[in-house]
Structure 1
Amino acid sequence: MSRRSSPLPNRYGVAPSFLWLPRESWPDLITFLVQRFPHMEEAVLRGRLERGELVDEAGKPLAAHSPFQAGTRIWYYREVREETPVPFEEVVLHRDERLLVVDKPHFLSIIPAGRHLRETLLTRLRLKLDLPELSPCHRLDRETAGVVLFCLHPPSRGAYQKLFEARTVQKTYEAIAPYRADLALPLVHRSRLEEGEGFFTMKEVEGEPNSETRISLLARHGEWARYQLEPHTGKKHQLRAHLAALGIPIHNDPWYPVLQAEKGDDFSQPLQLLARSIEFIDPFSGIARRFDSQRKLYWPE
């Protein structure tokens, strides 16, 4: 069963979540849920069940005493604490029968994750444009601004995703970072990136390179520089990790080279990284397409 066959509709632009019940034996559903979600009080779980907020694959509300049905799914709407609105707006750059191209602002996650549910780009677009089946073709970090592709037509999404998997999409980024006079540019930086402790950040390690970025100098402003970044691979946090490894971490990066404390709802220092443009050959029309961000990066004061 796919997510599209959910017995629950989207709510406020957010798709329902589901949980597979493992092939194990439990006395009843509540006993399993208490073990599965140790961070939640049993009273909270029982309350959600009493209100009929968890349903089976047929959409029938489940109760605390409901039997544990191994190998099935239960469906529900994920809850998060009250979200602070992100005070920046997305801009639609292009729309046709298959594609929606959007200029994403900083601080806005692409999809619901963690403590971000409604204040995400996907949720905003589904609501504003009445597109409940809209889905992203690729991702950008929450801290990164710029061009993002979405698919309006679910059967077409796979064709666009294959372009990214085949590395036939040309993505160009810009970043503001310290200037290094001894760094000969342009250069191609290759390294092996693996997840660091806690899986939040990436780190360079010894071994066969699995990431590659071409770095060029666009302009200099005192001790700072504007760089053009052209990733050949798409590893998590690749651009941020590469520039940090070169001794030129991106301005306002809260994670590289050192993971800093959570800034919460402080929107005053956006990461100076922008997905400037994206180019590809459309898999349906065969036409070369290019989309550019209208946003700007700013030199440090």
Structure 2
Amino acid sequence: MLNQGQRVVLPLKPTDMNRSLADYVARHAPIFRGHDVCGYLAERRFHVNGEPAPAETILQSGDKLELMRPPWHEPEVPRDFPIVFEDADVLVVDKPAGIPITPTGPFLTHSLLHLLRNEFANPDLAPIHRLDLETSGLIAFAKRVEARGWFQSQFQRQTVEKRYEALVFGRIPKDLHLVDIALDRDTLIHSKFVPHPQGKPARTEILDRHHWGTYSFVSLRPLSGRTHQIRAHLAAVGHPIVGDKKYGSNPGLFLKWLETKDTKLYLNEWKLPAQALHNRGLILQDRKGCRLVLHSERDVAHSWQRGIASIDGDIQIS
């Protein structure tokens, strides 16, 4: 589907002042990875203070820099996100893998936020926590501006209880019940988090496990709210999530995949096209102080079994 393009407000730092627009684009190349920035400059799609700007424009303090991104064809996304709970303040849906929560990369109108805002005719709808593109499960949205703070504060205070399910490589030992490993950004892949003694504290509880041949199906509860915490912790103890490209045992493979984004080339190693991680349960309080205990009915286990069987053959569950 061809969208209508996007207006993107770009960050300006003190170090960008008194430099040309072309220099800004060159110095901030990672922001524009995958974009035709030379074409954008030639077509004057960069605007300064609301006006199309040539490449030699000198950026000044107080300037507003925007990119008028041209229309593009967005990838198709799954549309099965059943409503699990709704009241006047909050909407909770069961997100499938393969759709982002908010616009990112090639996704704009094909983001869950955009689709739900259109479906409910509610521009105030806003997510109050996050799930990765490939992670499925419960995601909550505040329906009113005045409700956002109430729900977001629960996540910030870590009073919300979340229960995840994952399929991982290897047989997790019966005596592993808690992963307590501080995490920090990886020096090679900046969007990845790895164990570091000076990192932020992170704790994940392993509640239950079942062995599926050489794999383990596990239930987990994050006791802290670090980015990619479950994925990083499981990888750190030698049991990366099946289908997890970024946290798999071969980081070089992830870097190769970035060049083409062709997952089929590496399915023999990753086993599944998307990471096998699902947010099964969510417990939080509504604005009246009542406890909301919410549960996903999505049958991810059966889906993961079918996916593994297509690569490895049938597996024995114990």
What TM-score results when the alignment is normalised by the length of structure 1? 0.80
Question: Residue in 2 aligned with 1:7?
Answer: none
Q: After superposition, what is the alpha-carbon deviation per residue over 1:234-275, rounded to whole angstroms, capped at 9, x for unaligned? A: 111111111112222111111223332237365962211100
Deviation at 1:153, TM superposition (A): 0.7
Paired residues of 1:98 and 1:152 also in contact (CA < 8 A):
yes
Seen in structure 2, the aligned counterparts of structure 1 residues 124 and 82 have a Cα distance that, compared at 3 Å, is same
1:43-72 deviation line (CA, Å, top 9, x unaligned): 5235245xxx8473xxx5445498855214
Where do 1:64-79 residues align within 5 Å? Answer: 64=54, 68=59, 70-79=61-70
SS at match of 2:9: strand
Structure 1, 100-109 or 82-91: larger mean CA deviation: 82-91
Q: 1:100 Cα deviation (Å)?
A: 1.3
Is the CA contact (8 Å cut-off) linking 1:144 and 1:271 kept in structure 2?
A: yes
The percent of aligned pairs where both chains have the same amino acid is 28
Report the counterpart of residue 40 of structure 2 in structure 1. Answer: 44
Q: Give yes or no for the alignment of 1:34 onto 2:22.
A: yes
1:206: which partner in 2?
197
Amino acid at match of 1:180: R
Equivalent position to 1:174, from 150, 165, 172: 165
Aligned partner of residue 37 in structure 1, secondary structure:
helix
Q: Which residue of 2 aligns with 1:258?
A: 250
CA RMSD for the aligned pairs? 2.9
Show the counterpart of 1:241.
232
Q: Of residues 276, 283, 288 in structure 1, which corresponds to 2:280?
A: 276
Residue 139 of structure 1 pairs with residue 130 of structure 2: yes
Distance 1:250 1:202, change over 3 A: same
Separation (CA, whole Å) in 2 of partners of 1:181 and 1:44:
50
Q: Does 1:112 align with 2:100?
A: no
Asked if 1 retains the 8 angstrom alpha-carbon contact of 2:98 and 2:134, the reply is yes
Distance 1:269 1:123, change over 3 A: same
Q: Unaligned stretches of 5+ in structure 2?
A: 30-35, 265-271, 310-318
Select which of 147, 153, 156 maps to 1:165.
Answer: 156
Contact 2:124-2:143 within 8 A present in 1 as well: yes
Q: Cα distance, 1:150 vs. partner?
A: 0.8
In the alignment, structure 1 residue 194 sits paired with structure 2 residue 194: no
Larger proportion of helix: 2
Partner residue in 2 for 1:6: none
CA shift in 2, pair 1:224/1:25, >3 Å: closer
Q: 2:4 & 2:95 partners in 1: Cα distance?
A: 18
Q: How many residues align?
A: 278
Cα separation, partners in 2 of 1:199 and 1:181, compared to 1, 3 Å: closer
Scaled by the length of structure 2, what TM-score is found?
Answer: 0.76
Cα distance 1:93–1:46, how it changes in 2: closer, same or farther (>3 A)?
same
Structure 1 residue ranges without an equivalent (≥5): 1-11
How do residues 82-121 of structure 1 correspond to structure 2 at under 5 angstroms?
A: 82-121=73-112
| Partner AA of 2:146 in structure 1 | P
3-state SS, counterpart of residue 174 of structure 1: strand
Partner of 2:267: none
Pick aligned residue for 1:285 from 280, 285, 288: 288
In the alignment, the residues of structure 2 paired with residue 25 and residue 225 of structure 1 have an alpha-carbon distance, to the nearest angstrom, of: 53
Q: Is the 8 A contact 1:110 1:139 kept in 2?
A: yes
- Determine the C-alpha separation between the residues in 1 that align with 2:6 and 2:124: 9
Change (3 A) 1:293 1:233: same
Deviations 1:1-45 (A, max 9, x none): xxxxxxxxxxx799843235555754xxxx732222235545523
